[in-house]
């Protein structure tokens, strides 16, 4: 085992950890530093002399230690002085195996060589909170085995530390420089000398007490240094002589130099309550009001009230208002408290060295330039464009950003008008925007709204690519100009610069930045020529596309031609890029205001190398493998680019960085809020969308408050003291024939974010969040396959786990995957520890507590450790998680935040658990079937609880949602929704109760486990939830109370199906969105489906029931209180039963049900509500055929249609349900009437090869809804909102044996040219409808039969030329879902090509009829 040591503070507090570095005990002053990179620079900084340095960022040593080589002027290239000055290093976790091209040794080895001890495994957040209250504290690090008393506390402030670090003899750097600068060394850093020498000075560095004579220099520089300035009397006296003359030579002081200058002129210094120690201190320049980010490390400050009258404050700290610099009104003397040149940290003010040397050059005034004030434009009414239906690449994150923007505008008393047809979102709820239009986001409809509402401002960057493209269109059409609507935030010209690749490349070249070599092409030939010039492999992308639509890699001409051809269906321009596969992909989120204040809020690193779209990649924040130089090089570039493009508000910039050198390319800039901005907001606690909306109104950034600390400014860069991992979720198993490869085009439907104080902890948490059935980094899910490691799929991470298990080395896996070795080593740690755990499998009692604690710190769940009584054992051994806050400032300031996560790396909770709260469980990751509508329900529930005066706790881990916005609830736990974690929180908080029914399926699945632990569940009792979820119990219950249902039987043999006759439906219990539900048409189908279903629902029964064809499906959403139904809302499906309710088109109020049926539906709802004793929301699905009603299923939770019916009926069912759950008095409802249609939004164009068929499993990713005077108008608006275009001329029909004669005749009378496949054409021609026959080109047909055949154009040619405006393709009768046949039907090819060429497609008979009626009735 590693040797242990203890840090003992002067107040007696003790911190135990493992020793690394040198085996010695030391004492000194304990200080902290919040920067996230730069430990080699910090340790060699003379200012840390005799200090035990604590780093707040927990993962240290990731990029090793570089070689000590000489750079220019004979100064060390990587270090700030010749040796380590800090007395000791105290950190959370040391990286055992660093990974970086510049690294030659590990941090551990370097400390050993230099004789400096290190301590790891410390709760540095707890330590930092202790130190900050005192500013600094004395402490000693005592190695186990040394007597404590042999190491006395040593107060370095009483020694003259400057004398200890200052050089003994003068030394000259850059002797040929043209200006003579004398630098007084009080603890000078290499980069200060470098900054002066690079600007042409000859620098003479002299000892601290060297006598000064102004004839020896043209300018005097006083460096930083350690300790109390009062002890440097010799320096003070020397400087006083030089500056107390009439015309003194220019002087510039930094840090200690600043304090010395203040003492020279007679000002006073004092010790601050909270020192400033980090890389993100905002300083405001007093002349211009501009705010700069600076690096600082000091505990003393100058009191501005004591400055003599001819001196002024030069900079002020925007957080604590302390003075950060002084300047003489007439003489060339100035000094600053921060480090403009700091190595490790930003150098935004390094220009002060230019100002100093210019002053020296002309020895006269003229340094600061005054800036003119801009006239402010304040809009009164602002239009916000939403993002429409959720689709892949554009999901819930825009609901979050839009809601934030509305919130920000309301605070400024500005009226808001929102256009968004997505009914399921929070932003379209009552009480947010002043007015909501459920209309398609197309130029025509938006123009109508502008005409009616006459707004004077519009926000385009909060609704994804949909809103952006619409805004660009409106500008081109001159609509915005005509109605005098100003675009707030980033101007349209800047948006176009980032969207049009060619202009973007030119703009980057203007400032000497490089974009990955690429060429734009307007035709297939141009693309091929471009690829030959760049050299294969190349990456193909389409311009103006979201989420990398229509993009991919091509290794040769054939692959390229295929890719480009399909890309031109979506766009007029494609880009061919040189492939940088295997480079690191890094992203920065940048914020800039109209006054050019600019900060980078978050930087992120993709674990997967370049070549995989960011949305498909596992991402970690902050970056783990960049050193200080790379981090700040990319940061400075980001700021330079954003300023050059003139972006106002928020944007993100993506880079490719070479893993072998400092070479980088800019990949792209998104001038709008993107999915990564939602992630960055949640990862750092900095509300980007909210800030961006305020900046769009012209408010300066420094005036905005950091909403987490409520005392510091928003003009800062958050420092994190935790690690965040984002993992995407794919639902590819729901689609037929879809390719599982992931690459430059996005296919994921949702994502999760996990927080931990080590990478392994966050990483394993995230893998479990993505899929509740996954236990973590599990090697049993996929077998090893080198092919899959090289060409990534959605399950590659589990192939990695299997590879570690099979004994692959890190180097072998690096060659296959190009994932940075640092991440691979971390994954190996997990695999190694799992092997250790397995060795205790036989006899748990032999497992030492350390092994279990280590397992929990590596992110293993109780289930994964796989002991029987692991929870009890953990409690006995006191291995419990602690609750930590996310405060954006790494504990440097006190924060009153409620944004929490749990970790096993810690010794104390950040807050007390005094008040009783009500706990609401959220819906977890967005997936097909559980998306923004459940988030709407969770938010509605919290809001209602707060109205009733309860304090609330939210548990959720989805970064795209409004429910994980920390100002929605009293406490937000950003953590797993699993029995283990919910129970951990429950034991901590001891809430009044837990509400499970608002988060969809996930919370329901843990109801019984919580109930067994005596958790107080509010609402319907878990026993009854089980009755409804467990198919067997539910079917038995219906039989008991005499409600009819399709014939059913618990999982058995094929005999049942033969009795009732096929088709039959296989249904597992406890699943959402019909997972593993299938319609079997034969015995062989049945056997296959049963094995699938048993796999999905391991612990619960599977039931088989008769599948009723051509029936009508009805959805009922209801609220009850103790079994008494309070409210019901009935919607009916347009499609026949057998299409999953999430994929169906819904109408409310129902159109085709008579009063008798509606009364019977109500009777059934009341009976079931009574039987299940429901309290809160529930949802029932029935089918009607030949006047019979049968119940299919009941969910005792909110359903996907809750937001739709609530907004249509104008009654908030969720608020009602919340009142019922909390047992408030609820009055039953009256019904208003308004016609509404909800239409699903599919994302098939993203899923290469997926068949476009609807069945009992759900495949849509979102939905939209619109209202109208009648159902037809509502349906049309809703269809347009999903991107459907109204056909102008040609329609292709491929409808087999369906008799749609009247419908087709209507189409003919409407003047459409009809085309049809051969069989269909014959039938309609016989009935006198004019139809052109077209066919598929099939190789196998014999030419001799039909020589005329060749002259006919084939369907394929027509589709390729975009000849059709609409394709109606109804797949074969009685397919009811998935055909098992593997052959590719003509129908499949028609549907797939229609999608690939962006041709509108209708695939359901009822929808076809409805659509034609709409065309007839709505002009």
Per DSSP, the residues of 67-92 read ---B-GGG-BSS-SSSS--SSEEE-S
Report the distance separating Cα 850 and Cα 620, nearest Å: 28
Task: Count CB neighbours of 1356 within 10 A.
Answer: 15
Alpha carbons within 13 angstroms on the beta-carbon side of residue 966 total 25
Residue 339 known to be catalytic? yes
Kindly give the pairing relationship between strand 251-254 and strand 219-222. parallel
Tell me the torsion sign for CA atoms 1353, 1358, 1363, 1369. positive
Q: What are the structure tokens assigned to 1252, written together?
A: 């476009």
Kindly give the pairing relationship between strand 137-143 and strand 1313-1317. unpaired
Answer for the pair 1069, 1194: CB distance below 8 angstroms, yes or no: no
Answer for the pair 238, 210: CB distance below 8 angstroms, yes or no: yes
Rounded to a whole number of angstroms, the distance between the first and last alpha carbons of the chain is 80
258, 279, 298, 339: the catalytic one is: 339
Report the distance separating Cα 287 and Cα 90, nearest Å: 40
Q: What are the structure tokens assigned to 698, written together?
A: 């012209």
Q: Which residue has the tokens 């900060």?
A: 599
Report the distance separating Cα 1324 and Cα 1309, nearest Å: 14
- Three-state SS for 1215? helix
Q: What are the structure tokens assigned to 435, written together?
A: 């007015």
Report the alpha-carbon angle 303-307-311, nearest 5: 130
Q: Which residue has the tokens 């092919």?
A: 787
255, 283, 1027, 1407: the catalytic one is: 255
Task: Count CB neighbours of 1083 within 10 A.
Answer: 13
Q: What are the structure tokens assigned to 365, written together?
A: 């005034």
Total residue length of the chain: 1419
Answer for the pair 777, 827: CB distance below 8 angstroms, yes or no: yes
Which of 670, 667, 669, 671 shows the shortest CA–CA distance to 518?
A: 667
Report the alpha-carbon angle 720-723-727, nearest 5: 130
Residue 255 known to be catalytic? yes
Q: Long-range contacts made by residues 1023-1030, C-beta under 8 angstroms, separation at least 24?
A: 1024/1172, 1024/1173, 1024/1174, 1024/1196, 1025/996, 1025/1196, 1025/1197, 1027/1172, 1028/1172, 1028/1178, 1028/1193, 1028/1194, 1028/1195, 1028/1196, 1029/1004, 1029/1069, 1029/1070, 1029/1100, 1029/1195, 1029/1196, 1030/1069, 1030/1070, 1030/1100, 1030/1101
User: Residue 807: CB partners within 8 Å, gap ≥ 6?
Assistant: none
Which of 1311, 1297, 1281, 1278 shows the shortest CA–CA distance to 1411?
A: 1278
93, 341, 976, 1171: the catalytic one is: 341
User: Residue 1208: CB partners within 8 Å, gap ≥ 6?
Assistant: 1129, 1148, 1234, 1236, 1265, 1267
Q: Which residue has the tokens 């329609």?
A: 1291
Kindly give the pairing relationship between strand 415-419 and strand 381-385. parallel
| DSSP-derived secondary structure letter, 889 | B
Report the distance separating Cα 421 and Cα 1274, nearest Å: 11
User: Residue 16: CB partners within 8 Å, gap ≥ 6?
Assistant: 4, 5, 6, 7, 121
CA dihedral 24, 29, 35, 40 (to 10 degrees): -40
- Residues annotated as catalytic are 255, 339, 341
């Amino acid at each position: 085992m590693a040797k242990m040591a203890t840090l003992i503070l002067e107040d007696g507090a003790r911190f135990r950890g493992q020793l690394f570095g040198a085996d010695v005990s030391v004492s000194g002053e304990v200080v902290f530093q919040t920067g996230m990179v730069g430990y080699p620079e910090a340790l060699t900084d003379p200012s840390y002399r005799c200090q035990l340095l604590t780093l707040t960022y927990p993962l240290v040593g990731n990029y090793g230690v570089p070689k000590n080589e000489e750079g220019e002027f004979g100064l060390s290239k990587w270090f700030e002085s010749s040796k380590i000055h800090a007395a000791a290093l105290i950190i959370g976790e040391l990286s055992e195996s660093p990974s970086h091209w510049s690294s030659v040794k590990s941090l551990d080895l370097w400390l050993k060589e230099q004789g400096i001890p290190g301590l790891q495994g410390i709760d540095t957040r707890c330590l930092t909170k202790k130190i900050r209250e005192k500013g600094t504290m004395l402490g000693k690090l005592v190695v186990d085995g040394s007597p404590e008393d042999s190491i006395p506390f040593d107060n370095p402030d009483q020694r003259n530390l400057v004398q200890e670090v200052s050089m003994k003899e003068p030394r000259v750097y850059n002797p040929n420089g043209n200006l003579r600068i004398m630098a007084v060394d009080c603890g000078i850093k290499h980069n200060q000398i470098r900054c002066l020498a690079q600007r042409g000075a000859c620098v003479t560095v002299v000892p601290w007490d060297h006598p000064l004579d102004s004839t020896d220099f043209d300018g005097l520089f006083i460096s930083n240094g350690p300790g109390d300035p009062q002890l440097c009397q010799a320096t003070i006296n020397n400087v006083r002589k030089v500056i107390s003359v009439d015309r003194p030579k220019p002087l510039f002081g930094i840090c200690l130099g600043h304090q010395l200058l203040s003492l020279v002129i007679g000002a006073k210094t004092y010790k601050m309550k909270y020192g400033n120690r980090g890389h993100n201190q905002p300083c405001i320049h007093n002349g211009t009001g501009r705010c700069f980010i600076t690096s600082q490390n000091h505990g003393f400050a100058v009191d501005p009230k004591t400055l003599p009258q001819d001196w002024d404050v030069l900079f002020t700290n925007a957080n604590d208002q302390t003075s950060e610099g002084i300047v003489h009104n007439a003489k060339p003397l100035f000094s600053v408290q921060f480090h403009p040149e700091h190595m490790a940290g930003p150098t935004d003010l390094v220009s002060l060295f230019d100002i100093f040397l210019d002053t020296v050059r002309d020895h006269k005034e003229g340094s600061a330039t005054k800036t003119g004030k801009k006239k402010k434009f304040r809009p009164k009414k602002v239009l916000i464009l939403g993002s429409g239906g959720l689709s892949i690449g554009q999901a819930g994150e825009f609901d979050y950003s839009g809601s934030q923007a509305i919130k920000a505008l309301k605070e400024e008393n500005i009226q808001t008008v929102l256009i968004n047809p997505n009914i399921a979102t929070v932003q379209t709820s009552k009480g947010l925007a002043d007015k909501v239009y459920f209309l398609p986001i197309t130029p025509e409809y938006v123009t109508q709204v502008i005409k009616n509402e006459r707004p004077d401002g519009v926000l385009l960057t909060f609704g994804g690519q949909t809103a952006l493209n619409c805004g660009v269109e409106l500008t081109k059409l001159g609509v915005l100009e005509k109605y005098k609507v100003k675009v707030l935030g980033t101007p349209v010209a800047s948006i176009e610069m980032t969207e049009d690749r060619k202009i973007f490349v030119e703009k980057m070249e203007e400032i000497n930045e490089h974009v990955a070599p690429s060429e734009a092409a307007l035709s297939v030939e141009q693309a091929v020529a471009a690829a030959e010039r760049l050299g294969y492999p190349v990456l193909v992308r389409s311009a103006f596309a979201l989420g990398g639509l229509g993009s991919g890699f091509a290794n040769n001409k054939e692959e390229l031609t295929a890719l480009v051809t399909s890309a031109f269906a979506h766009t007029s321009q494609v880009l061919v890029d040189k492939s940088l596969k295997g480079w690191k992909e890094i992203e920065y989120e940048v914020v800039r205001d109209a006054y050019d204040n600019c900060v980078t809020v978050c930087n992120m690193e993709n674990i997967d190398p370049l070549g995989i779209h960011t949305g498909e990649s596992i991402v970690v924040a902050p970056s783990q493998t960049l050193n200080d130089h790379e981090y700040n090089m990319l940061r400075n570039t980001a700021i330079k680019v954003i300023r050059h493009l003139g972006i106002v508000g928020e944007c993100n910039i993506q880079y490719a960085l070479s893993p072998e050198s400092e070479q980088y390319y800019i990949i792209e800039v998104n001038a709008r809020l993107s999915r990564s901005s939602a992630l960055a907001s949640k990862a750092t606690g900095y509300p980007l969308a909210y800030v961006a909306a305020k900046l769009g109104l012209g408010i300066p950034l420094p005036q905005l408050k950091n909403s987490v600390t409520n005392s510091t400014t928003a003009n800062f860069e958050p420092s994190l003291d935790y690690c965040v991992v984002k993992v995407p979720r794919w639902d590819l198993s729901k689609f037929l024939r879809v390719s599982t490869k992931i690459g430059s085009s996005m296919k994921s439907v949702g994502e999760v974010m996990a927080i931990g104080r080590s990478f392994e902890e966050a990483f394993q948490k995230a893998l479990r969040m993505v899929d509740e059935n996954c236990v973590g980094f599990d090697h049993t899910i996929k077998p090893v396959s080198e092919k899959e490691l090289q060409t990534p799929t959605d399950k590659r991470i589990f192939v990695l786990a299997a590879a570690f298990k099979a004994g692959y080395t890190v180097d072998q896996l690096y060659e296959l995957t190009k994932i940075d070795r640092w991440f691979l080593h971390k994954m190996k740690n997990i695999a190694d520890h799992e092997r250790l755990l397995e060795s205790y499998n036989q006899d748990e009692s032999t497992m030492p507590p350390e092994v279990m604690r280590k397992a929990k710190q590596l992110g293993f769940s109780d289930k994964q450790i796989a002991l029987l009584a692991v929870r009890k054992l953990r409690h006995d051994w006191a291995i419990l998680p602690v609750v930590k806050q996310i405060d954006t400032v790494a504990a440097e300031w006190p924060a009153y935040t409620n944004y929490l996560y749990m970790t096993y790396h810690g010794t104390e909770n950040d807050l007390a658990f005094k008040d009783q709260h009500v706990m609401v469980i959220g819906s977890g990751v967005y997936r097909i079937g559980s998306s923004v509508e459940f988030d709407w329900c969770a938010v509605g529930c919290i809001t209602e609880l707060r109205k009733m005066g309860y304090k609330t706790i939210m548990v959720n881990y989805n970064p795209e949602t409004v429910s994980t916005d920390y100002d929605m609830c009293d406490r937000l736990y950003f953590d797993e929704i699993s029995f283990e974690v919910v129970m951990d929180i429950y034991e901590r908080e001891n809430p009044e109760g837990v509400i499970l029914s608002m988060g969809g399926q996930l919370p329901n699945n843990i109801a019984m486990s919580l109930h067994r632990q005596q958790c107080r569940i509010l609402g319907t009792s878990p026993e009854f939830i089980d009755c409804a979820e467990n198919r067997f119990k539910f079917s038995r219950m219906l039989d008991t109370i005499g409600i009819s249902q399709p014939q059913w039987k618990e999982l058995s043999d094929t005999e049942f199906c033969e009795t009732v006759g096929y088709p039959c439906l296989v249904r597992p219990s406890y699943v959402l969105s019909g997972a593993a539900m299938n319609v079997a048409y034969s015995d062989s189908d049945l056997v296959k489906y049963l094995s699938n279903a048993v796999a999905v629902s391991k612990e619960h029964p599977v039931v088989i029931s008769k599948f009723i064809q051509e029936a009508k499906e009805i959805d009922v959403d209801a609220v009850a209180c103790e079994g008494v139904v309070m409210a019901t809302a009935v919607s009916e499906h347009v499609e026949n039963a057998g299409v999953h309710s999430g994929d169906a088109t819904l109408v409310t109020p129902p159109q085709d049900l008579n009063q008798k049926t509606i009364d019977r539906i109500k009777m059934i709802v009341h009976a079931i509500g009574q039987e299940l004793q429901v309290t809160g929301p529930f949802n029932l699905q029935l089918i009607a055929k030949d006047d019979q009603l049968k119940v299919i299923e009941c969910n005792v939770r909110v359903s996907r249609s809750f937001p739709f019916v609530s907004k249509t009926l104008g009654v908030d069912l969720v608020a009602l349900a919340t009142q019922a759950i909390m047992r408030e008095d609820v009055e039953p409802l009256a019904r208003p009437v308004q016609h509404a249609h909800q239409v699903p939004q599919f994302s098939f164009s993203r899923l290469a090869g997926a068949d476009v068929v609807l069945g009992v499993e759900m495949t849509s990713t979102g939905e939209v809804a619109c209202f109208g005077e009648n159902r037809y108008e509502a349906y049309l608006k809703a269809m347009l909102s999903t991107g459907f275009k109204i056909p102008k001329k040609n329609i292709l029909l491929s409808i087999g044996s369906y008799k749609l004669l009247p419908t087709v005749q209507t189409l003919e009378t409407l003047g459409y040219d009809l085309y049809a496949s051969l069989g269909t054409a014959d039938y309609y021609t016989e009935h006198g409808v004019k139809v052109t026959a077209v066919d598929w080109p099939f190789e196998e047909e014999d030419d001799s039969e039909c020589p005329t055949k060749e002259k006919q154009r084939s369907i394929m040619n027509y589709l390729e030329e975009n000849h059709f405006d609409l394709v109606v393709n109804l797949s074969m009768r009685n397919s009811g879902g998935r055909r098992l046949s593997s052959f590719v039907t003509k129908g499949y090819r028609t549907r797939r090509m229609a999608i690939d060429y962006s041709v509108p497609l209708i695939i359901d008979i009822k929808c076809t009829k409805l659509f034609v009626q709409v065309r007839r009735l709505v002009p």
